[in-house]
Amino acid sequence: MDSMGLGWVVVEPEGPRPLILAKSGGLQGEFSYVAFAPSRGVGVFVSINAFSVEGFDAMSKAAIELITELAPR
């Protein structure tokens, strides 16, 4: 995480990765993650039905990598 803006995590551009805004949430054994690159018109929503910190970490990293692959800067 590079900074916070209106409650959104801001992931600064680096290498091929564009600027990404992300938000996460969870309740009663469910984790959700949404991330998008506003300048590239690409977004990802992912949700898992397990309370797993390791699973959430892998899910958020995969979403960032997918956006980077689909919409490099």
Give the percent of the chain with pLDDT over 70. Answer: 97
Query: Which residues, at least 6 apart from 12, have a Cβ–Cβ distance to it below 8 Å?
Result: 2, 3, 19
* Total structural domains within the chain: 1
Domain encompassing residue 49: 3-70
Q: Using 50, 70 and 90 to split pLDDT, how confident is the model at 53?
A: confident
Q: Phi and psi (nearest 5°) for 51? A: -85, 95
**Segment 33-56 mean pLDDT:** 91
**Nearest-angstrom CA–CA distance, 20 and 34:** 10
Residue 3 has pLDDT above 80, yes or no: no
pLDDT of 5 reads 63
Q: Phi and psi (nearest 5°) for 54? A: -65, -40
